[in-house]
Copies of this chain bind each other. A is one copy, B any other.
């Protein structure tokens, strides 16, 4: 089973990396870009035999403890069989 974890900065949190990308694109002539925000995707390969409920609970724990900084980031977990 695979768990795809999407981690993004919460709304209102400054994203300097996104701003750098947006500014660079504007300088390169891509004036249609109004803003950019950058997030992470963490793809975990999980051992077989885990139930979906267990996998979800364990990955949620991993997010809270390591994968996301929940003060400034939100996360979303997608499980794929």
Contacts and interface: CB of A to CB of B under 8 A. Distances in A.
Given A35-B45, A36-B44, 18 more contacts: A18-B43, A24-B66, A28-B65, A30-B62, A32-B55, A33-B45, A33-B46, A33-B47, A34-B47, A35-B44, A36-B43, A36-B45, A39-B40, A39-B41, A39-B42, A40-B40, A40-B41, A41-B41
Contact of A8 (B33, B41, B58, B65): B41
Interface residues of A, number: 34
A37 interface: yes
A75 B75 CA distance: 21
A30 B1 CA distance: 14
12 contacts: A18-B42, A18-B43, A21-B42, A22-B44, A25-B44, A31-B47, A32-B46, A33-B46, A37-B43, A38-B42, A38-B43, A40-B40
